[in-house]
Amino acid sequence: IEYGIGLSGNASIELVDAMGQKVMTLIDQPHASGNYEMTLDVSRIPAGVYFYVLRSGPYLERQKLVITK
């Protein structure tokens, strides 16, 4: 997962299912502004449609993630 932080501060990324229920928190920590990349281990997550939600200050971004096995 590639993501960018515009303003330094706390950032979180949560994985939610198609119904909007949180599956897990991927990141919840301070970040400096910049571009980042993380690897998500999906071995324990069932196949399906998910979304990852990035929150950083006033910014919110939601991206679709399809897991196939």
Calculate mean pLDDT across residues 22-35. Answer: 96
Q: Write the pLDDT tens digit of every residue in 6-26.
A: 989 999 999 999 999 999 999
Q: Write the pLDDT tens digit of every residue in 36-60.
A: 999 999 999 999 999 999 999 899 9
State yes or no: pLDDT of 69 exceeds 90: no
pLDDT for 56 equals: 94
Q: Which region, left, alpha or beta, applies to residue 50 given φ > 0 means left and ψ of -120 to 50 means alpha?
A: beta
pLDDT for 50 equals: 97
Contact 41, 53 (CB under 8 A): no
pLDDT for 35 equals: 97
